[in-house]
Chains A and B, each alone.
Chain A
Amino acid sequence: MAFVQQSSPHAHSARPTSRVMLWVLIAALPGLLAQTLFFGWGNLINVVFCIAVAIASEAALLKLRKKPVAFFIKDNTAAVTGLLLGLSLPQFAPWWVSAVAVISAIVVAKQLYGGLGSNPFNPAMVGYALVLVSFPVAMTTNWAEPAMLWDGAPGFGETLATIASGQQTAVDGWTMATPLDEYKHKITTHTAVEVLNHPTFGEGIAKGWEWVNGAFLAGGLLLIGLRIISWHIPAGFLGGLIVMSLAFGNNADLYTPLSLHLLAGGTMLGAFFIATDPVSAATSHQGKLIYGAGIGILIYVPGAIIRTPWRSAFCS
């Protein structure tokens, strides 16, 4: 009887990369759900589209590089990149903006640097930054106004049509500036109370966005509980942001308040899903704390000037 010959160790029981990525996808679902509920079908359509384009472009590049396609697609990392972009892009962004973002993310920021494990920057954020700089109009005018999915938001067909039509500016009636944008622009001329009267803020802190961030926070905590990610990067990120906001921008009449920073924008998504990309992040625990804090601090600095997903994108 021929026994298997192998040198030690013989046991292996770790969560493979594909499983890790799958959990990231699952943990992002509450956030996606919240976004769909409060802002309409846009995000969902974008996510599905971006994931599809991501997998397709990765397969194409792997073939060009003569690597085994199925082996690398199976690790779900392209899917996660597509997901992150779908969550970050404006709801009514034209399809070609999403496509350019995804393709540049996968092809340029990931495969051209050597594939999985070799990218110096988070590919999703590279893609985002690229389209933000290249198509400023499309990226700033297509944010949906907060409107419940069943009441007020444009229907599935309408959303799909808008995205598919590829027009740069969506219908005015559906779009609105984001809360952070709004606050930052108006606070120079109005008081805090007046600014907060704007419908984008709603009764709570920032209509819709607070739920979204809460959902991403929940998903992030799930990942920490499952030990998929460690708490160091999110803690550093949020800590840095909080410290900077309290130290330098404590006056709500002059600066965007901390609550808005934390709950209105891509903060939670950035802290738990984007900054924690293991390939581009620090490796040791102390390193992760410093890395997270650096991002948090950097995000605050242009915070009054730049929109959050952009901030997270450039800073991470």
Chain B
Amino acid sequence: MAWILRPERCVIGIEDNKPEAIAALKKATEGTQTEMAVIPTKYPSGGEKQLIQILTGMEVPSGGIPADIGVMCQNIGTAVAVAKAVFEGTPLISRVVTITGEAVREPGNFEALIGTPIEHLLEQAGVNQNAVSRLVLGGPMMGYTLTTEAVPVIKTTNCVIAATAAELPAPPPEQPCIRCGQCAEACPMELLPQQLFWHAKATEFEKAEHLNLFDCIECGACSYVCPSSIPLVQYYRFAKGEIRAQQAEQLKADRARERFEARQARLEREQQEKELRRKERAKAAADAAAKKQAEAEKAAAEGDAGDERAAKAALVEQALARKKAKAEASRPPAPNEPPAEEKPDIEALEKQLSQAQSKLETMQGMLDDAKAQQADNVEKLERAVAKNHDRVKRAEEALAEARQQLAAGATESQPTH
């Protein structure tokens, strides 16, 4: 690991209650880059942040990891496993497990293959099955209880405690806090356990979080020294759990709100587009109706009087004529009927022209609107206007041509007749 990381300093910390190990390590580290430091046996010196502070004097920042201050901390077992893997090519298949507790006759350290049932190890250590009241995996302060011995050794199984009822008795009932302050003296992370306790009890979770609740390593030193036997660590776990649940809820709520807002925006957009289209259509319809009205009035004016009936009659006549023209046009054109052909042609062409003109007017109107509002479809409308312009032009040309032909045909037909 030193080869990879190239550290400035490499230190092994060892508590002073292991004299044989100290001697062995001393011999092993002679002449190497690795130093050995003997530290007083005080719980929880083995905690990562505490060990770093003891050996180097540097503090890991709140909410941070050792890498933030340029330190890497690994335990001896990991270092040995890495060495074995690199130098011998063996994977991690065994580890040293400590079996202890007053219910075992010969407590000790066992090197066990991963997967060995704890039951087997306990038997090797001479366990008295009847005396075991609590089976703890880990240490007495931070370990967790097992429900059965039929569990295997895994990579993180460091210790098994087969405790009698006298050794680890049930905790006495909680008494009121007498505010002695021993918990704050014992805390290795320099937190305020008393304040955290009050806030956790009163479910004032923001205040607890503000007092760095999440820096608590749950070592249990505070509850160990409490004269009133208050289960402090359980209170902190409860508070942490509640805060995490609240944060998850908050995240869910935020995401739901974002989705909702996006949906609202989309619906509104669609609504607006619909409105716009509706307006256009209404406008076009209004224009067409206006146009029709204008034509009708014009026809009424052209017809003998401002007589409505006459105007209507004219309209009806026009419609009939159109119909006739249509009927004639659908007949296969006969070569000896050029004038007849051309006549309906002219009417049709006139109609086409008027339609094209009205459409052009509509488009022009829309374009003006759009230009006034500076809407997005100005270009589209301009194109449409241009198209209609062309259409009108073509219709006019066609009409002119037809009229010419008609005139020519008339003069032609006269000599034939």
**Which positions in A face B, CB cutoff 8 Å?**
1, 3-17, 19-20, 71, 75, 115-118, 278-279, 281, 283-284
Q: Give me the 9 closest cross-chain CB pairs, A-B, nearest first.
A: A9-B220, A117-B176, A283-B181, A11-B140, A4-B134, A278-B180, A9-B141, A17-B227, A116-B176
- What is the CA–CA distance of A47 and B152 in the complex, to the nearest angstrom? 62
Q: Which chain B residue has the least Cβ–Cβ distance from A277?
A: B178
Q: How far is the CB of A167 from chain B (nearest CB, A)?
A: 39
- What is the CA–CA distance of A3 and B150 in the complex, to the nearest angstrom? 13
Is the pair A279, B178 in contact by a Cβ cutoff of 8 Å? yes
Is the pair A75, B146 in contact by a Cβ cutoff of 8 Å? no
Q: How far is the CB of A145 from chain B (nearest CB, A)?
A: 39
Is the pair B184, A283 in contact by a Cβ cutoff of 8 Å? yes
Is the pair B175, A284 in contact by a Cβ cutoff of 8 Å? no
Q: Which chain A residue has the least Cβ–Cβ distance from B169?
A: A12
- What is the CA–CA distance of A12 and B180 in the complex, to the nearest angstrom? 17
If A9-B233, A116-B176 touch, does A3 touch B133 (CB 8 Å cutoff)? yes
Contacts of A4 in B (CB 8 A): 133-134, 145, 165, 168, 170
Is the pair B184, A1 in contact by a Cβ cutoff of 8 Å? no
If A16-B227, A17-B228, A116-B175 touch, does A8 touch B180 (CB 8 Å cutoff)? no
Is the pair B168, A10 in contact by a Cβ cutoff of 8 Å? yes
Q: How far is the CB of A17 from chain B (nearest CB, A)?
A: 5
Q: Does B194 contact A (CB under 8 A)?
A: yes
Within the complex, which residue of A12, A20, A279, A281 is in contact with B223, where a contact is CB–CB below 8 Å? A12
A-B pairs under 8 A by CB, number: 108
Q: Which chain B residue has the least Cβ–Cβ distance from A15?
A: B227
Q: How far is the CB of B150 from chain A (nearest CB, A)?
A: 11
Contacts of B141 in A (CB 8 A): 8-11
Within the complex, which residue of B133, B161, B173, B227 is in contact with A20, where a contact is CB–CB below 8 Å? B227
Contacts of B178 in A (CB 8 A): 17, 116-117, 278-279
- What is the CA–CA distance of A158 and B180 in the complex, to the nearest angstrom? 42
Q: Which chain B residue has the least Cβ–Cβ distance from A283?
A: B181
Could you list some 28 contacts between A and B, CB below 8 A?
A3-B132, A3-B135, A3-B145, A4-B133, A4-B170, A6-B170, A7-B144, A7-B233, A7-B234, A9-B142, A9-B223, A10-B143, A11-B168, A11-B224, A12-B171, A12-B172, A12-B224, A14-B227, A15-B227, A16-B227, A16-B228, A17-B175, A17-B178, A116-B175, A116-B178, A283-B180, A283-B184, A284-B181
Q: CB within 8 Å of A: which of B155-203?
A: 161, 163, 165, 168, 170-173, 175-182, 184, 194
- What is the CA–CA distance of A10 and B219 in the complex, to the nearest angstrom? 11
Q: Does B136 contact A (CB under 8 A)?
A: yes
Is the pair B224, A9 in contact by a Cβ cutoff of 8 Å? yes
**Which positions in B face A, CB cutoff 8 Å?**
129, 132-136, 138, 140-148, 161, 163, 165, 168, 170-173, 175-182, 184, 194, 218-220, 223-229, 233-234, 237
Contacts of A278 in B (CB 8 A): 178-181
Is the pair A8, B142 in contact by a Cβ cutoff of 8 Å? yes
Contacts of B219 in A (CB 8 A): 9
Choose among A5, A10, A115 the residue with the greatest number of B CB atoms under 10 Å from its CB: A10
- What is the CA–CA distance of A118 and B218 in the complex, to the nearest angstrom? 27
Q: How far is the CB of B154 from chain A (nearest CB, A)?
A: 18
Is the pair A3, B223 in contact by a Cβ cutoff of 8 Å? no
Contacts of B165 in A (CB 8 A): 4
Q: Which chain B residue has the least Cβ–Cβ distance from A8?
A: B142
Q: Which chain A residue has the least Cβ–Cβ distance from B194?
A: A283
Q: Which chain A residue has the least Cβ–Cβ distance from B221?
A: A9
Q: Which chain A residue has the least Cβ–Cβ distance from B232?
A: A9
- What is the CA–CA distance of A75 and B177 in the complex, to the nearest angstrom? 12
Q: How far is the CB of A87 from chain B (nearest CB, A)?
A: 21
Taking A7-B234, A12-B223, A284-B181 as known contacts, 13 extra A-B pairs with beta carbons closer than 8 A to each other, sorted by chain A number, are A3-B145, A4-B165, A7-B144, A9-B220, A10-B161, A14-B182, A16-B227, A71-B173, A117-B179, A278-B179, A283-B180, A283-B184, A284-B184
